[in-house]
Amino acid sequence: QKTKLTRRWAKRGTRPRATADLRTRSAWIFGAICPAQGKGAALVLPVCNIHAMNFYLKEIAQVVAPQSHAVLILDQAAWHTSLKL
């Protein structure tokens, strides 16, 4: 919950104090599917960088059948185009 306004049930005319939770947390979802074979690979990670992308590529490699290819469509993010992948 990321809001400054927190409402509470109270008697009309009173203003009880209410603390608001202003913490945030992000997660990155990596996912790929093959509808024809009903296979998929997915990860939910706390960061999105070269190490996470390498981890995801290993996950995809475990799902793709031997002698098959996987096609990934990526944008130009640094962790997609790095020579460290």
Entry field: residues in the chain: 85
What local confidence, expressed as pLDDT, does residue 54 receive? 93
E strands, the chain, are 28-34, 39-45
pTM above 0.75, yes or no: no
> What angle (nearest 5°) sits at the alpha carbon of residue 25, between those of residues 42 and 62?
15
Q: Where do the domains of the chain lie? A: 28-81
What are 4-37's pLDDT values in tens digits?
666 677 788 877 777 766 777 889 999 998 888 8
